[in-house]
């Protein structure tokens, strides 16, 4: 139900979330469980979550960090390696524990050193996934040194993803955190077995935000933000209502000191204010009526999940919503994503 100042939507899902482990897990989990019903949990821990048993243990750790007053379901994934056991994967999927498998090209992003070096080596696993309908979540970038960092996604689509999908027909693929018009166009060219997540921050920032007027480490993420023309393509896709596009925040917490140093970590922490940010973006596009599709419907449908029966109401007020600049303590904290404009949409 929508009017000029209030919108009520099904409680959202986050189809790409980093919760880390240890003290970081305890710190950031409540920020996601407060607003989101479910989340696809990334497995790039150290060591990575590569087996069903490891995923079960990780899920228990996450649930122990969810406040008792919150209702939150972590949807677990396995980290694909060239040693992944198809039988273990299938058992995990059939038990309901494993919702997807994550492909990281080796070296593409945080804790991806154990990722896949030669994609053909994992075709037997991908064929098993196609047989049982288990989605593959793809970090879509090549990592070879001769490819410019701003071209990694486009080259991946052409040289890795398209050949992979032709080699393993029927494999259900989620192109995660797409950042280019190339990614949008590729998804739209294929009606079956393909979808894409879009992040909060990539709908708001372009590469100028990172570099103009000095380096802004809290806008640095991987895949890196691209030109404005690509951001506009992402916004158009997100606000279109197209069922192939849905929210995956890629909220990726790092302690502030590891972002603000000579070799800063990649990631934007958006779990705190994502809904307010998205309401702003969708209102600008006169598309508030499409917000629920993007946050709460399209992704659930692709993953074959029931839609949430809970609701969230956002109200536009005269005064901006107040969000902390950091979460944590003075000794250990995470800087919250700053969209660069006031957020008048409050989560009730």
**Segment 308-341, tens digit of pLDDT:** 999 999 999 999 999 999 999 988 999 999 999 9
* Domain locations along the chain: 6-347
Q: Give the catalytic positions in this structure.
A: 250
Q: Hey, how many other C-beta atoms are within 10 angstroms of the C-beta on 230?
A: 23
Give the per-residue pLDDT at 114. Answer: 73
What distance in Å separates the CA atoms of residue 96 and residue 114, rounded to the nearest whole number? Answer: 25
> What is the H or E stretch that residue 247 is in?
strand 245-247
User: Could you give phi then psi for residue 296, rounded to 5 degrees?
Assistant: -135, -10
Helix (H) and strand (E) counts in the chain: 13, 13
CATH number of 6-347: 3.20.20.140
Angle separating helix axes 123-132 and 86-94, nearest 10 degrees = 20
Q: Please say whether the beta carbons of 201 and 19 come within 8 A.
A: no
Residue 289 has pLDDT above 50, yes or no: yes
Residue 111 confidence (pLDDT) above 70: no
- State the Cα–Cα distance between residues 164 and 119, nearest whole angstrom: 8
What percent of the chain lies above the pLDDT cut of 70? 97
Peptide bond into 244 cis (omega under 30): no
pTM of the model: 0.96
User: Containing H/E element for 335?
Assistant: strand 333-335
**What is the pLDDT at residue 107?**
66
Both tokens assigned to 122: 């994992």
Please state, in angstroms and rounded to a whole number, the distance separating the CA atoms of residues 343 and 316.
9
Span 148-201, pLDDT tens digits: 999 999 999 999 999 999 999 999 999 999 999 999 999 999 989 999 999 999
Tell me the percentage of the chain whose pLDDT exceeds 90: 92
- Give CA angle at 49 (155, 246), nearest 5°: 50
Predicted local distance difference test score (pLDDT) of residue 112: 65
Q: Distances in Å between the alpha carbon of 216 and those of 140, 207, 338?
A: 24, 10, 11
> What is the spatial distance between Cα 152 and Cα 136, in angstroms, rounded to a whole number?
19
Confidence of residue 2 (pLDDT cuts 50, 70, 90): very low
Instruction: Report the DSSP beta bridge partners of residue 100.
Output: 77
């Amino acid at each position: 139900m929508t009017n000029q100042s209030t919108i009520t939507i099904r409680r959202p899902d986050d189809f790409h979330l980093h919760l880390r482990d240890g003290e970081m897990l305890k710190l950031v989990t409540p920020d996601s469980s407060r607003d989101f019903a479910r989340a696809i949990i990334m497995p790039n821990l150290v060591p990575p979550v590569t087996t069903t048993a490891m995923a079960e243990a990780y899920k228990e750790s996450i649930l122990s960090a969810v406040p008792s007053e919150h209702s939150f379901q972590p949807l677990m994934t396995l980290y694909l390696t060239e040693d992944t056991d198809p039988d273990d994967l299938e058992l995990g999927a059939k038990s309901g524990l494993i919702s997807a498998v994550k492909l990281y090209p080796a070296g593409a992003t945080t804790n991806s050193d154990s990722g896949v070096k030669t994609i053909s080596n994992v075709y037997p696993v991908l064929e098993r996934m196609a047989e049982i309908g288990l989605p593959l979540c793809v970090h879509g970038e090549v990592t070879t040194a001769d490819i410019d960092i701003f071209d990694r996604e486009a080259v991946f689509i052409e040289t890795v993803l398209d050949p992979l999908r032709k080699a393993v027909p029927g494999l259900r693929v989620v192109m995660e955190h797409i950042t280019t018009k190339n990614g949008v166009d590729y998804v739209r060219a294929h009606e079956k077995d393909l979808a894409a997540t879009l992040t909060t921050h990539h709908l708001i920032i372009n590469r100028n935000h990172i570099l103009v007027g000095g380096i802004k480490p809290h806008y640095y993420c991987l895949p890196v933000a691209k030109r404005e023309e690509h951001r506009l393509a992402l916004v158009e896709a997100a606000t279109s209502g197209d069922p192939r596009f849905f929210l995956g925040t890629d909220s990726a917490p790092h302690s502030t000191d590891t972002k603000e140093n000579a070799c800063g970590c990649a990631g934007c922490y958006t779990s705190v204010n994502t809904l307010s940010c998205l309401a702003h973006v969708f209102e600008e596009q006169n598309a508030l009526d499409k917000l629920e599709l993007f946050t709460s419907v399209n992704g659930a449908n692709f993953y074959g999940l029931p839609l949430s029966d809970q609701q969230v109401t956002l109200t536009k007020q005269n005064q901006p919503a107040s969000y902390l600049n950091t979460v944590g303590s003075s000794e250990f904290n995470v800087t919250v994503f700053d969209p660069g404009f006031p957020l008048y949409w409050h989560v009730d």
